[in-house]
Structure 1
Amino acid sequence: KPFEVDEVFARLRALLRRVDKAVAAGGAAIDGPDGVVRAGDLHIDPGARRAWRGPREVELTRTEFDLLHLLARNEGIVLDHATIYDRIWGYDFGPNSKNLAVYVGYLRRKLDVPGAPPLIHTLRGVGYVLRAS
């Protein structure tokens, strides 16, 4: 059948990310015994879909929660744009998409506390990482 080379490469990248995800799962942060993911003063309860920064509960949309949970479970690990797009939205929006940057901005506005270090860091041209310290 005729096919688009770009589509074949996109499908191969998606397959490789799934393999990388399965391999990386062994190194990802494990939920605590109560199921809560902790990173510094950030606490995420995936079962209840609730998150707190210190004593303050943070109201998050579905996508914001999923993105924060992904970053927190992989604390200290840089996640590239393609991996985040695949894990949160199920596909890559393409190199010109600003969708991810918009959601990271939403999270930063909701999470960052004056006087406290930011949680989410940008590695320009690579991706994002959550660092609690």
Structure 2
Amino acid sequence: DLSAREFGLAEEFLRHPDQVLSREQLLSRVWGFDFDPGSNVVDVYVRYLRAKFGPERIETVRGMGYRLR
């Protein structure tokens, strides 16, 4: 089962497969405008999704963001 935020994050990755999405893009699209740009909330939720879908599915692109493979 996915939480609402996990679902929203997974949906963003599925809408943009093989495209690198920055933390800022994910924050604004999933969390809306009420977010702290210095927050690690995206990293935390990516970790949750990796635990559920497998670590190989979501790739970290250093200095850029994340990509669904």
Q: Taking structure 2 as the reference length, what is the TM-score of the superposition?
A: 0.90
Q: Pick from 27, 31, 36: which aligns with 1:93?
A: 36
Gap runs ≥5 in structure 1: 1-58
Give the aligned partner of residue 126 of structure 1: 64
Q: Give the match's secondary structure for 1:107.
A: helix
Q: CA deviation at 1:81?
A: 1.1
Report which of the two structures shows the higher radius of gyration computed on alpha carbons. 1
Q: Structure 1 or 2: larger strand share? A: 1
Q: CA deviation at 1:118?
A: 1.2
What is the rounded CA distance, in whole Å, between the counterparts of 2:19 and 2:36 in structure 1?
22
Report the alpha carbon displacement of residue 80 of structure 1 after superposing the two structures with TM: 0.9
Name the count of aligned residue pairs.
68
What's the CA shift for 1:125?
Answer: 1.8
RMSD over aligned CA atoms reads 1.3
Kindly indicate whether residue 10 of structure 2 is the aligned counterpart of residue 72 of structure 1: no
Same amino acid, percent of matched pairs: 40
User: Could you give the per-residue CA deviations for residues 79-105 of structure 1, whole angstroms, max 9, x where no partner exists?
Assistant: 1111110000112422x3111000000
Q: Which has the higher contact order (CA 8 A, sep 6+)?
A: 2
User: 2:4 is aligned with what amino acid?
Assistant: R
User: Whole-Å Cα distance in 2 between the matches of residues 123 and 106 of structure 1?
Assistant: 18
